[in-house]
């Protein structure tokens, strides 16, 4: 079956531009997470959506970062006025209800020049 | 202090060696425990769940000590293909009937020929 998909797979942008990253979770998965992973570093939690509950935004590093999710479907992560330190792989993961495991997408590799 | 702590390594071991990774977690309300594996430039994938009684999957053995808030992963007869980053993951209650997964930053294993 279809796994978590993310688009674009790679994105190169200029400093100061806005970017939008997309995640399509596995159908029926109520939980959706966004992570950032810089080169050679661990996963950095950004935001967590669970069903219709208020999202946990505690990991967003600044107000330039925002994310939305429509119901239990697609999510978009938006980075405004990108900076070079935003360069990283942005990973999305989804989980079925009441389950303890996550399924990751392949990530979007963002490079800010 | 991070909620999930791991030794970042790297652990450099020869083929055939036995290697053990440790992980500690700070939230005593954590409910479920997992080990994930992340290959270089790939997304993390579930390796195995960790049960209170300890569990084994082939060459891999996972153990949990709730009293000490400590999780371990033992790999016997290491193979070159075991080279990867091993991520310790705990699940805790977030709100309502939902749980949230917390990732450690991972331990890098390099198996040498």
Query: Phi and psi dihedrals of B24, rounded to 5?
Result: -120, 150
Q: pLDDT tens for residues B56-86?
A: 999 999 999 999 999 999 999 999 999 999 9
Residue B47 structure tokens: 């390796």
Q: From chain A, pick out residues whose CB is under 8 angstroms from the CB of B32.
A: 100
Q: pLDDT tens for residues A32-53?
A: 999 999 988 888 999 999 888 8
Please report the pLDDT score of residue A2 as a whole number.
Answer: 82
Please report the pLDDT score of residue A23 as a whole number.
Answer: 97
Q: pLDDT tens for residues B10-50?
A: 999 999 999 999 999 998 888 899 999 999 989 999 999 99
Interchain contact A58–B (C-beta under 8 A)? no
Please report the pLDDT score of residue A33 as a whole number.
Answer: 93
Angle at alpha carbon of residue A58, lines to A97 and B36, rounded to 5°: 50
Please report the pLDDT score of residue B97 as a whole number.
Answer: 56
Query: Phi and psi dihedrals of B81, rounded to 5?
Result: -70, -10
Q: How many Cβ atoms from other residues are within 10 Å of residue A4's Cβ?
A: 21
Q: From chain A, pick out residues whose CB is under 8 angstroms from the CB of B98.
A: 30-31, 50-51, 53, 98
Interchain contact B40–A (C-beta under 8 A)? no
Interchain contact B61–A (C-beta under 8 A)? no
Minimum-distance CB partner of A100 among B43, B99, B104: B99
Q: Is the peptide bond before B10 cis (omega within 30 degrees of 0)?
A: yes
Angle at alpha carbon of residue B32, lines to B27 and B36, rounded to 5°: 105
| Residue of B17, B52, B93, B78 whose CA lies nearest to A98 | B93
């Amino acid at each position: 079956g279809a796994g978590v998909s993310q688009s674009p797979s790679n994105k190169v942008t200029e400093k100061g531009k806005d970017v939008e990253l997309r995640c399509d979770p596995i159908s029926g998965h109520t939980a959706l997470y966004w992570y950032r992973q810089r080169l050679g570093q661990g996963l950095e939690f950004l935001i967590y959506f669970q069903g219709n509950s208020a999202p946990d935004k505690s990991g967003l590093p600044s107000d330039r970062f925002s994310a939305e999710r429509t119901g239990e479907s697609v999510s978009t992560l938006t980075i405004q006025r990108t900076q070079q330190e935003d360069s990283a792989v942005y990973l999305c993961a989804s989980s079925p209800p009441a389950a303890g495991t996550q399924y990751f997408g392949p990530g979007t590799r963002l490079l800010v020049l | 202090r991070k909620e999930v702590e791991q030794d970042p390594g790297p652990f450099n071991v020869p083929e055939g060696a036995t290697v053990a990774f440790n992980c500690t977690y700070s939230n005593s309300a954590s409910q479920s425990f997992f080990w994930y594996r992340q290959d270089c430039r790939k997304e993390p994938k579930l390796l195995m769940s960790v049960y209170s009684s300890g569990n084994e999957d082939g060459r891999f053995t996972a153990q949990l000590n709730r009293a000490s808030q400590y999780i371990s992963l033992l790999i016997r007869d290491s193979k070159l293909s075991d080279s990867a980053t091993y991520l310790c993951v705990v699940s805790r209650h977030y709100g309502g009937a939902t749980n949230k997964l917390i990732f450690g930053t991972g331990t890098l294993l390099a198996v040498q020929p």
